[in-house]
Structure 1
Amino acid sequence: MNENGANPRARLDMPANDPPPRSRAADFLRRTVSGARSASRRYPRELWRSLREAPAWGCADEGTRAALDRLGRARFGAAWLGHATVLMRLGDDLVLTDPVLSDRIGPRIGGRSIGLGRLAPAPVGPADLEPPTIILLSHAHFDHLDRPTLQALASPTVRVVTAPGTRGLIPRGFGQVDELPAGDSLTIGALRFTAIRPNHWGARTALDTDRGYNSYLIESLSGRPRRVLFGGDTAMTNAFDGLKADLAILGIGGYQPWVHAHATPEQVWQMVQRAAAQRLLPIHHSTFPLSSEPITEPLERLSDAAGASCDRVAALRPGEALID
């Protein structure tokens, strides 16, 4: 409780920024039409390629191996591995978020994923990574929960923290799988994870409506205190206000025409400021052709929005690391 008798964590599971009721029908119709047009330009070609091209893992080059080695020797840092996949070092622990290292995302048919392909090969394959302590999953969308990648990373020494209603999607072989509802916290060793309700949704398929979706505040409890906000996917929301994170990891792409589900770069910068985050690691861009904005636009707009504070933005290339 704060001095006014309010619980500062109560907002973590608040519903996020719904549009005014009078606009919902019109907004839904507009989004449906825009989304259908956007998808029709990409999916037929990608589905055909899914059937023709054999799946393959990426492979770390010398620069990426050097970055991962530096991260392994650090006490605090993060390597961006494309899309929403980030390998974080927090003290003695490695946390891997939304691991998607496959060359395609989508449902599995005949031993291969049928769907969108990467714009460039993944900077690493599962074999290039030191086993993480914890895998952190935000929600069940195919570009965030990739079963082939998880299967390749499965180990009795690895623990998974995920959103409610997603346990059944996790391949066997992990030491433990914990579903964490929004507003709840879970302490694992020297780390505390608090689930936050973002402005998004969590369905795996069009008929699947019962799965949760999380952002997370990660806090180190030993050594130098650190706080990391991992957003997963979110549209504009006030759920992160005042969290005072050392590092915010937020998606900046996928907003055209999906602004109801993915924040624009300008909105992301507003959320960073309102969260009082010291630095931003932008993710969810330049990896999969999920939306209609030009590939370079999200980072360009983010740079313009940050202005004189652009030194607070760690605009990494896939395979690069931010070390503190």
Structure 2
Amino acid sequence: MTQQSESTTPRLRPTAPSEHPTALRPLGETRSWPRTFADRLTAPLPGVKAFARFAREGAVRPDREGLEDIPQLPFEPGPLPHVTASGIAVTWVGHASWVLRIGGLTVLTDPVWSRKILGIPARITPAGVAWAALPPVDAVVISHNHYDHLDAPTLKRLPRQTPVFVPAGLGRWFRRRRFTCVTELDWWEAAELGGVRFDFVPAHHWSKRTLTDTCRSLWGGWVLTDDADRKVYFAGDTGYGHWFAEIGGRHPGIDLAMLPIGAYDPRWWLSDVHCDPEEAVRAVADLGAARLAPMHWATFLLSAEPVLEPLTRVRKAWADAGRDRGDLWDLPVGASRVLVGA
């Protein structure tokens, strides 16, 4: 295992609050939401012409040459690092799933331990942490309801009293499965658990899980802040755009940004909803973040780029931007890093 200590133009931009909110929402609050969040889209969803073009020239998987690097994908599972209540540690399980220890809590992000999810081939790297090796899970954060981020078989393994933090409109899905502490938040809202603040922030994406629920729930990322004001930003799934600068402005001093770098080809089809590696590096600058931990690659084959290309491109973009190599936490699946010091 690797464990180290660190030394398309938006079309429909919604109006956001002008100041960082100070009031915290109660945990487990039951709320009413709009029937649709389609007004939060920052680009139109693909129409008939886009689908026709994709049918003519699109590709949903890498070609044979692009698949040849699968045996070389970085996979270094190991025991979770020791971290005190004042420390922060991240372990990449794969895709958008992380074990995040912050403020004495163990938090899972978009947990997907399943080998296979609906509609795509089986994962090409195993989960980097065995489920039995997890400490007690104190909370779960969900970015949106797509199957590669909201996995029912994995969530079924959790005790039903586990606190879950979800986008507006997604709480009913969890309550139907008998979760008892479900906190739904709108963009720029926050709640607190065990001294850690959970802020829900915007993303350039969308939501859909069935044929009839397009944009019925919201999508976004999470900024987690401990009592020493150290911040970890989990972006979920997002394209590049104006939200990154606003998130950085409202949450200055982000210590670590966990950003997607894969599932970007063909660009004309996916640029509105998935960052490419160069955009992820630009997003770090927009956020004012100190470090980048890339994710959303090396796990599921969602698009046409070669499987190792996101890693090589993000490393080059980071170097081209003049950033310190030690601040690029390009972890193998299963590896961890510990953020030391306040």
State the match for 1:144 in structure 2.
Answer: 149
State the match for 1:284 in structure 2.
Answer: 296
Q: 1:131 to 1:33 in 2, by over 3 A?
A: farther
State the match for 2:258 in structure 1.
Answer: 249
Listed as ranges, the matches of 1:210-229 within 5 Å are 210-220=216-226, 222=227, 224-229=228-233
Q: Which has the higher helix share?
A: 1
- 1:15 is displaced (CA, Å) by 4.8
User: Matched residues in 2 for 1:144 and 1:71: separation?
Assistant: 26
1:311 aligns with 2:326: yes
User: Matched residues in 2 for 1:248 and 1:101: separation?
Assistant: 22
May I ask how many residue pairs the two structures share in their alignment? 282
State the match for 1:189 in structure 2.
Answer: 194
Does structure 1 conserve the Cα–Cα contact (< 8 Å) formed by 2:85 and 2:104?
A: no
1:232-272 CA-partner distances (Å, limit 9, x unpaired): 00001221213331010111001112222101111111110
User: Matched residues in 1 for 2:83 and 2:104: separation?
Assistant: 11
User: Matched residues in 2 for 1:185 and 1:179: separation?
Assistant: 9
TM-score, normalising length: structure 1? 0.79
Residue in structure 2 matching 1:38, options 59, 67, 70: 59
Q: 1:91 to 1:208 in 2, by over 3 A?
A: same
Other structure's SS at 2:157 match: helix
1:270 aligns with 2:282: yes
Q: 1:173 to 1:207 in 2, by over 3 A?
A: closer
State the match for 2:165 in structure 1.
Answer: 161
- 1:301 is displaced (CA, Å) by 0.9
Listed as ranges, the matches of 1:114-129 within 5 Å are 115-129=120-134
1:301 aligns with 2:313: yes
1:290-320 CA-partner distances (Å, limit 9, x unpaired): 0100011111111111113133210001110
1:17-38 CA-partner distances (Å, limit 9, x unpaired): 548xxxx98x873466337842
Does structure 1 conserve the Cα–Cα contact (< 8 Å) formed by 2:43 and 2:272?
A: no
RMSD: 2.8
Other structure's SS at 1:198 match: coil
- 1:216 is displaced (CA, Å) by 1.3
User: Matched residues in 2 for 1:72 and 1:147: separation?
Assistant: 31
Other structure's SS at 2:243 match: coil
Partner AA of 2:106 in structure 1: L
1:179 aligns with 2:190: no
Other structure's SS at 1:235 match: coil
Partner AA of 1:289 in structure 2: L
State the match for 1:201 in structure 2.
Answer: 206
Partner AA of 2:296 in structure 1: H
Does structure 2 conserve the Cα–Cα contact (< 8 Å) formed by 1:16 and 1:237?
A: no
Structure 2: runs of 5 or more not aligned: 1-16, 22-36, 64-74
Structure 1: runs of 5 or more not aligned: 1-5, 43-60, 107-113
Report the identity percentage: 31
Q: 1:32 to 1:296 in 2, by over 3 A?
A: farther
State the match for 1:50 in structure 2.
Answer: none
TM-score, normalising length: structure 2? 0.75
Q: 1:28 to 1:268 in 2, by over 3 A?
A: farther
State the match for 1:110 in structure 2.
Answer: none
Which structure has the higher relative contact order (CA within 8 Å, separation 6+)?
Answer: 2
- 1:201 is displaced (CA, Å) by 0.2
Does structure 2 conserve the Cα–Cα contact (< 8 Å) formed by 1:131 and 1:153?
A: no
Does structure 1 conserve the Cα–Cα contact (< 8 Å) formed by 2:198 and 2:224?
A: yes
Q: 1:217 to 1:35 in 2, by over 3 A?
A: farther
Residue in structure 2 matching 1:7, options 13, 18, 26: 18
